[in-house]
Structure 1
Amino acid sequence: MSLGRESAFRQKQIDLAGIAAGESVLDVGCGTGTLAIAAKRRVGESGKVYGIDASPEMIARARKKARKAGVELAFDTAAIEAIPFPDATFDVVLSTVMLHHLPDQARQEGIREIRRVLKPGGRLFAVDFGESESERHSRITRHRNHAHFDIRQLTPELNEAGLRGVTSGKVGFRDLWFVSSTTPTG
């Protein structure tokens, strides 16, 4: 889907999310770990990065990829509806092209879990399909459950979960958009 530009796509996400040295980051639905590895390189030795995915096969691939890259970070099998970390653990939670796969209830539970694990002033940065089906360029994004999902329509769910300041925009890669929001600081 990134048309051979995966590295540039991941760096763009890291930049748009504003990830900085020393931060703690969780990649929800991390897949093979590419974004988590890029995040770890950005946060450096003083930062921490974790990746979770519901698929044990993806976690195995992510661990192998991280070892090969010489990057130390933790990957665990877990679902978004039950994130296995204490409250207020992370500065940033990332999600890439995963939310559209979830049934409404699971997505809402997952958003509440993301809010729970974010520190005060923490931020969510999610990337997924945006725009109406007729405005999309790629055939895959007009297929089945992709076609009716527009990440920008998550604003009410994010607000209901206690996330504020929702912004959105194009990522610059095909039909992908981002939403970003923060937790209250006080």
Structure 2
Amino acid sequence: MEAVLRNRFLPCPDPDSIFVGDGNFQAVGAEFLGHFVRKGGLLPASRVLDIGCGIGRMAVPLTQYLDTATGSYRGIDPVAGGINWCQQNITAVYPNFEFRHLDIAHSLYNPKGEINGLELVLPFENQQFDFIIMTSVVTHLPDEEVSAYLREVKRVLAPGGRLFMTAFVADKVAQENPFNKRDARLGFQRYDEGPCWFVPELPPLAAVAFDDGFLDTALMRAGLSIVTKSFGHWRGVAADHYQDLYVAECRGDG
């Protein structure tokens, strides 16, 4: 992580072109590299899929960790500009890193997309990956699309492979904010009778939280076993990560 932070030669996009995520591009990437290894069990030889790779915030530090001969990385995103930058600035130097534009419709990031999220089919063969990243993805999805994504995650994960996913979970502490320390930007309110919580002053998919237990059930139904569930400090409690995170393992039962 320290080497990534000190490396002045790693590619970094112009700040005006970073369309998702807060914080320093390089520092956040280095932080997540640590989480992937320590919490997720990522190995240098892992075959990685990054769903919602954006403009390479997770990919850049992974170039310093994945083995060039045995490890590999595939990134997909609905925003063509981010994919283009990654192809020009990452793949050109690290050929085991590939990026693909997937034209998934999203009201904020790709409103004219041709692929309905409910009908998502990832362009990869079955059981192709050892480690799948979904950072800040379900935080921008409606509940009905979450199951479609997780179904495809299960399909392309090898038995024993792992999903690393971040989320906002509306547990009792987050809902009631008893310490008055919750991130003031995330004043979630429940939407109708479903499991979703939205921030009233923001577009619905700008930030989505889910009832505690919804994602757990969705993972289980997809055939993924939860290894780690850890609440983040956005809700005002001590934690070494901001969003909530799940690590789930692919069961080898078909």
Q: Which string of whole-angstrom CA distances, capped at 9 and with x for unpartnered residues, describes residues 154-178 of structure 1?
A: 010010011113421145233x111
The letter of the residue matching 1:119 is A
Partner of 2:221: 160
1:23 aligns with 2:46: yes
Residue 121 of structure 1 aligns to a residue in which SS? strand
Within the candidate set 146, 163, 170, 1:124 is matched to: 163
The letter of the residue matching 1:88 is Q
Deviation at 1:74, TM superposition (A): 0.3
Do 1:34 and 1:62's aligned partners in 2 also have CA atoms closer than 8 Å? no
Do 1:2 and 1:173's aligned partners in 2 also have CA atoms closer than 8 Å? no
Partner of 2:98: 74
Equivalent residues in 2 for 1:5-154 (5 A)? 5-15=27-37, 16-45=39-68, 46-67=70-91, 70-72=93-95, 73-78=97-102, 79=104, 81-131=120-170, 132-135=174-177, 137-142=182-187, 143-144=199-200, 145=204, 146=207, 148-149=209-210, 153-154=214-215
Q: Which string of whole-angstrom CA distances, capped at 9 and with x for unpartnered residues, describes residues 41-93 of structure 1?
A: 3221111100001111221122234157x333100012472210010000010
Q: Return the structure number with greater helix share.
A: 1
Structure 2: runs of 5 or more not aligned: 1-20, 105-116, 188-198, 233-239
Residues 123 and 23 (structure 1), Cα distance of their counterparts in 2 relative to 1, 3 Å cut: same
How many pairs align? 184
Residues 59 and 31 (structure 1), Cα distance of their counterparts in 2 relative to 1, 3 Å cut: same
Q: Which string of whole-angstrom CA distances, capped at 9 and with x for unpartnered residues, describes residues 99-134 of structure 1?
A: 121122222101100000000111111112234244
Do 1:97 and 1:128's aligned partners in 2 also have CA atoms closer than 8 Å? yes
Q: Percent identity?
A: 25
Residues 168 and 65 (structure 1), Cα distance of their counterparts in 2 relative to 1, 3 Å cut: farther
How many Å separate the matches in 1 of 2:91 and 2:72?
16
Residues 183 and 64 (structure 1), Cα distance of their counterparts in 2 relative to 1, 3 Å cut: same
How many Å separate the matches in 1 of 2:99 and 2:82?
10
Moved over 6 A (4+): none
Residue 44 of structure 1 aligns to a residue in which SS? coil
Residues 71 and 161 (structure 1), Cα distance of their counterparts in 2 relative to 1, 3 Å cut: same
How many Å separate the matches in 2 of 1:151 and 1:60?
37
Do 2:47 and 2:71's aligned partners in 1 also have CA atoms closer than 8 Å? yes
Give the TM-score of the pair, scaled to structure 2: 0.64
Q: CA RMSD in A?
A: 2.4
The letter of the residue matching 1:127 is T
